[in-house]
Structure 1
């Protein structure tokens, strides 16, 4: 082929392309009219497809507003999907916004003058949307030839200004670039401390984290007045009525105290307001002393005529604080404190005796082992068979903690009791092992490792209380020490899965005189078992075969009692994320219980609590369905596709589903 022929072919192709473009332009009005009609249909996928076609036509420059394309904007279809149409999904709104941006960027401003008011409102509404749709709304504004008043945008943003500021300074403080904030630092901290007085709990929590980052990064540049302002506000947040907020406040207190330039006023305030929760670190601070901290702890438990004594849990906490304080102070302080505790123990009339009995430090363990263990064990095992579950749990905790001290003696002794003829005793020793498996490495791990199966195999005991105790022990091991159990999981998992199934033989009728009450003795066991599976999916996923669990065991949980269902929904979402192939393989079998749950209506005479629980259960099921929809695309199963269509046809369910999908 010579060059003349090639040039001829290129010329023909070019003309053919232009001709096809001309033909397409001739059909544009018909295409637009058809698309406009389709946008009024209910199918979300169809609408998304229509916007995709429109975007391609804009990109190919086959569309212009003069060729009939104006009908899209003059109708309500496009505008409704940009605005807060509850039937629209996030993807549909995004497609409409992107399409609008492309049109605005490719046309002269004059052609939009008729549509300024129509377009401005929905675009500005989209700015206030959650999730990433807001970025597309701003893109439309940025590329818009319209005179959209940016002050309107600020009206939408100003409500979130506090959040933006907090996040911005939190990122800056955490940045390795060490950006200089000295010019605005005191003003910023003064502003943030005012947030600690706001009613919004989430704002207060986030502000504490941001302040902690700022103090940690710029502590040497913060003035003493700013420090004192923070401390005053923190003192109002430290309360036993909100332990999470208290914990965050105490973290910030510790960061404040770590700064060498911390003023005496701050140290005094922190010492008396936040002493009980971070004394182990404070004992090394130059701003306070061991004796002051110990005196403050002991004086905090003395009863007063106005308030009486502290609650039992508070006494237990203070006892732990005394022990940790002694360990942090060193051997000399430990010895003197143990001597003081020993003298207090001889005087049972004092409140401090309660503290002393629970505060034995490592320095006093030798004496404790020699004189106390045998007597204490005898006393504890006398209470193993009590009907009161709280007492049995207390006995289990004591046995587990003593095992950490005298491991060579306690672990073999507990193993012997696993064969006790008394069910409550077997359950007690299983829970005791749970309390001995703490997160940090301990010498007891080496002794428990070859023996742990003896305790966990109680999961096949004939008594449901014993089986539940063994499941709880397995769950704790999976969370704290997964390496202790991985070798036993092939044998344990089938037994665990069997505990998740509803068993009719565990249902009994209790006669209460005027009426009869149905009791499900297997409910707590099933709940604990699903919780254990959830933990195993986080720590031992490589040991779990999801296919053998999903059907029939997870399928059974999806049709169980309220709180078991909630756990099953959570596990299903997790499996969809981590093991999607196994989930897709049995997707059809999961549809019926999910469909039943989302369509469940509370009884007409249901109280508010029952209505709220039902609402939570529906949202939980929809969250699981959303996870399934992400991995299936809604097309791999006709049964699941039918469920999705049913949800989208219901305005109530569709609104909830869309809200959950955007979380």
Structure 2
């Protein structure tokens, strides 16, 4: 119906009407990509009419081109094939338009048209049925004219480069005569500071083309220029250059000479550092590709800076995720090249040397984990060397002369190796790890528990029954449950399926444990186990809500928190149906159960708001109820000569205010802001921790719903003023002064945020408070520094480079 109505409007005389049609189509396609596939024949004539119409304004042409671009991006190529003969002439005419904005938009459309007339992604509908030949010359000629022009707008220059990159990528094999000249123009653009980034991206596109475009004529000049970009200060340029060099190495390894490789290697050491993990990751990926394509060039690494930088990076507490994965890939690629001086044992010594030389323990636990992962990657790549090294690690754990740091590294390495390689042939492994559970060092104990769980993943039938048996009979449940958590988190679903029942019944025995730490691990295991078979296990969890002690109820509600993840999961529809039953525990008589229910609610609101949006009407009154100070929960404790007040309800109130803060981000449209503000106002007069939370909320609310805050401003200013003018007793301890300072700064941040609301300073109380601030030297200094910070933060957020 929408398309039918628009079809008539697109032929209207009125320019404004047609412009609105294009804007609406663009919006529609962004919301429902692919929805117009059947209707393209009806819409194309209207778009072409506006592009050819002499009475069209520039803005109308730009909107028509932008709309065409969005439709082409969001729909399959074959849908446009029938219309290419009609589309090419008006688009080519627009590329030649004297107004740069029309040219720029038309080049974007041309780039997309190239993908339409010859898609490279093997779509069955499009590969053979359409012949691009008649259009190649027109599209190439109009683009090359813009590519060669020196005196044109920057945006047109960049889009001409991108468009030509696409043309060569998709049609380069049909342009043999034009190719060498065009590549030379790219080389010129690469030398120009203004166009170099766009050109690097275009070259990356061409180098990755399945048509294997011949780039040999320009490689000797291009690679040294690319290498020099790795020195530049522009981060985006470094990242794009590394991606370009990587793909050139993969697809043109025979044409890349050792001289070119050396030019790049000379620039790499400064890029491998913890100051920019993403750049380090790209540099490591390049080195891995180099190990596969030019193994001989790695010989110069053995004494060079690159390896020193790598070892420093492995020891960094920041190494994780993609950068760590790239590091492991590189070590495996490097050891496979069998370069002299970089064999398995050489690399192993470099990695573990500092720990074994006992010169100093590594500063951070994360470093031991990273080294262990690298050791395991090397061991997987050299299976023959594995058993001897594993045996050595077992001896290191047993040896009474080993330091804690050597034991820690040996246990973590055993865990990482055992995760991928079956270690059941090592007879004393189980007893050695269990003995390490009684170490005096907490870190060694937790490494032993991780190692046991990780080794079990490598051979479940051998190790999982052993772990379950130990949990039932041993005194070290907490550590063994951590091992079990590692097994449930890392093992494959099919491997775990046969053991679900025995693990489940064991966990239930421990979910009433009095020790909260143990209960939390049990809850995490229950939650992650539920994900394996939600249809059976989720109803069981729900069943335990009605039975058992308050400890069991708190374990079950916490378990639900671990079934909620930020990615879509098969459990989601089931969870949505029953999460309301778990949240009914917000009315539980036990304080602790209500607290964990709030934590679970907060997790759902943060990661998957769709689970709880429909429940807010019934949950919000209970949530607000928990923000109130309860006199009956406040007691006095005598500590020697002093009396100390303890508020047992504080943790509960903190959890409730944290939920409120989360709801501002994920469910603002479902909140009654004035009711919400009543509770924020109460929080402004509460305990230190809660004041800090409500100051943050006020700042958020000032930007999210300024008009509602403005109506309540007088009531909100008073508690802020009280906080800022409170004096600490002269004989108080240092922490009291620091706390009060922190409170003042946070309150001031809230005041600065409130003052961004138009008309806020018209409030009599606010203007009175402002004059009070400016007359007090200390408050004025805080106020000025926060204003400076917030204005510079705004400037930074606008800088999108």
Task: Tell me the TM-score range normalised by the shorter chain.
Answer: 0.5 to 0.7
Counterpart of 1:494 in 2: which secondary structure? helix
In 1, distance between residues paired with 2:772 and 2:525? 54
Aligned to 1:311: 444
CA offset at residue 482 of structure 1?
Answer: 1.8
| Distance 1:319-1:249 versus aligned 2 partners, 3 A rule | farther
CA offset at residue 629 of structure 1?
Answer: 1.6
Aligned to 2:104: none
In 1, distance between residues paired with 2:557 and 2:595? 9
Counterpart of 2:592 in 1: which secondary structure? helix
Q: Pick the aligned partner of 2:648 from 521, 524, 534.
A: 521
Counterpart of 2:573 in 1: which secondary structure? helix
In 1, distance between residues paired with 2:301 and 2:783? 46
Superimposed CA distance per residue, residues 16-65 of structure 1 (whole angstroms, 9 cap, x where no aligned partner): xxxxxxxxxxxxxxxxxxxxxxxxxxxxxxxxxxxxxxxxxxxxxxxxxx
Counterpart of 2:644 in 1: which secondary structure? strand
Query: Quick check: 1:189–1:211 contact (8 Å CA) kept in 2?
Result: no
CA offset at residue 283 of structure 1?
Answer: 8.8
**TM-score between both structures, scaled by the size of structure 2:** 0.51
Superimposed CA distance per residue, residues 246-282 of structure 1 (whole angstroms, 9 cap, x where no aligned partner): 6696366257459789966398748956795599999
Is 1:555 the counterpart of 2:620? The answer is no
CA offset at residue 184 of structure 1?
Answer: 7.1
Is 1:468 the counterpart of 2:544? The answer is no
Q: Pick the aligned partner of 1:605 from 731, 739, 748.
A: 731
Q: Pick the aligned partner of 1:365 from 496, 517, 522.
A: 496
CA offset at residue 418 of structure 1?
Answer: 2.0
Is 1:432 the counterpart of 2:563? The answer is no
- Indicate the structure whose relative CO is greater, using CA pairs within 8 Å and at least 6 residues apart: 1
Aligned to 1:171: 236
Q: Pick the aligned partner of 1:380 from 507, 510, 516.
A: 510
Query: Quick check: 1:595–1:643 contact (8 Å CA) kept in 2?
Result: yes
CA offset at residue 245 of structure 1?
Answer: 5.5
In 2, distance between residues paired with 1:269 and 1:210? 23
| Distance 1:296-1:481 versus aligned 2 partners, 3 A rule | farther
Aligned to 1:206: 275
In 2, distance between residues paired with 1:446 and 1:545? 27
Q: Pick the aligned partner of 1:450 from 577, 583, 587.
A: 577
In 2, distance between residues paired with 1:283 and 1:480? 33
Query: Quick check: 1:189–1:226 contact (8 Å CA) kept in 2?
Result: no
| Distance 1:659-1:226 versus aligned 2 partners, 3 A rule | farther
| Distance 1:486-1:416 versus aligned 2 partners, 3 A rule | same
In 1, distance between residues paired with 2:663 and 2:379? 45
Aligned to 1:582: 708
| Distance 1:655-1:428 versus aligned 2 partners, 3 A rule | same
RMSD: 4.3
CA offset at residue 368 of structure 1?
Answer: 0.9
| Distance 1:541-1:311 versus aligned 2 partners, 3 A rule | farther
**TM-score between both structures, scaled by the size of structure 1:** 0.60
In 2, distance between residues paired with 1:444 and 1:623? 41
CA offset at residue 473 of structure 1?
Answer: 0.8
Q: Pick the aligned partner of 2:524 from 367, 382, 397.
A: 397
Is 1:338 the counterpart of 2:460? The answer is yes
Aligned to 1:190: 269
| Distance 1:317-1:243 versus aligned 2 partners, 3 A rule | farther
Superimposed CA distance per residue, residues 453-487 of structure 1 (whole angstroms, 9 cap, x where no aligned partner): 11112112233222111101101111222221111
Counterpart of 1:510 in 2: which secondary structure? strand
CA offset at residue 524 of structure 1?
Answer: 0.5
Superimposed CA distance per residue, residues 535-566 of structure 1 (whole angstroms, 9 cap, x where no aligned partner): 2222233323333211x211111222112111
Aligned to 2:696: 570
| Distance 1:547-1:275 versus aligned 2 partners, 3 A rule | same
Query: Quick check: 2:714–2:763 contact (8 Å CA) kept in 1?
Result: yes
Superimposed CA distance per residue, residues 93-113 of structure 1 (whole angstroms, 9 cap, x where no aligned partner): xxxxxxxxxxxxxxxxxxxxx
Aligned to 2:771: 645
Aligned to 1:288: 381
Counterpart of 2:381 in 1: which secondary structure? coil
In 2, distance between residues paired with 1:653 and 1:252? 50
| Distance 1:398-1:345 versus aligned 2 partners, 3 A rule | closer
Query: Quick check: 2:684–2:694 contact (8 Å CA) kept in 1?
Result: yes
Counterpart of 1:662 in 2: which secondary structure? helix
In 1, distance between residues paired with 2:616 and 2:742? 33
- Kindly report which structure 2 residues correspond to 1:25-424, keeping only aligned pairs within 5 A, or say none: 168-175=233-240, 185-191=264-270, 205-215=274-284, 224=298, 229-236=305-312, 238=314, 243-244=317-318, 250=324, 253-254=327-328, 256=330, 265=342, 269=347, 276=369, 288=381, 299=393, 302=397, 304-305=399-400, 306-308=402-404, 309=436, 310-318=443-451, 337-342=459-464, 345=467, 357=484, 358-359=486-487, 361-362=491-492, 363-374=494-505, 376-383=506-513, 386=514, 388-420=515-547, 422-424=549-551
- Kindly report which structure 2 residues correspond to 1:626-637, keeping only aligned pairs within 5 A, or say none: 626-632=752-758, 634-637=760-763
Worse-matched range after superposition: 560-569 or 224-233: 224-233
Aligned to 1:503: 630
In 1, distance between residues paired with 2:692 and 2:282? 36
In 2, distance between residues paired with 1:424 and 1:625? 43
In 1, distance between residues paired with 2:390 and 2:778? 55
In 2, distance between residues paired with 1:219 and 1:623? 48
Query: Quick check: 2:587–2:594 contact (8 Å CA) kept in 1?
Result: yes
| Distance 1:585-1:513 versus aligned 2 partners, 3 A rule | same
Aligned length: 471
Query: Quick check: 1:380–1:395 contact (8 Å CA) kept in 2?
Result: yes
CA offset at residue 318 of structure 1?
Answer: 4.2
| Distance 1:647-1:368 versus aligned 2 partners, 3 A rule | same
Is 1:539 the counterpart of 2:669? The answer is no
Flag structure 2 segments of 5+ consecutive residues without an equivalent.
1-229, 246-259, 292-296, 353-366, 405-435, 437-442, 790-801
Query: Quick check: 1:464–1:525 contact (8 Å CA) kept in 2?
Result: yes
Counterpart of 1:509 in 2: which secondary structure? strand
In 1, distance between residues paired with 2:722 and 2:343? 59
Flag structure 1 segments of 5+ consecutive residues without an equivalent.
1-164, 197-204, 327-333
Superimposed CA distance per residue, residues 269-316 of structure 1 (whole angstroms, 9 cap, x where no aligned partner): 489567955999999999826898899899489454323445344345
Counterpart of 1:405 in 2: which secondary structure? coil
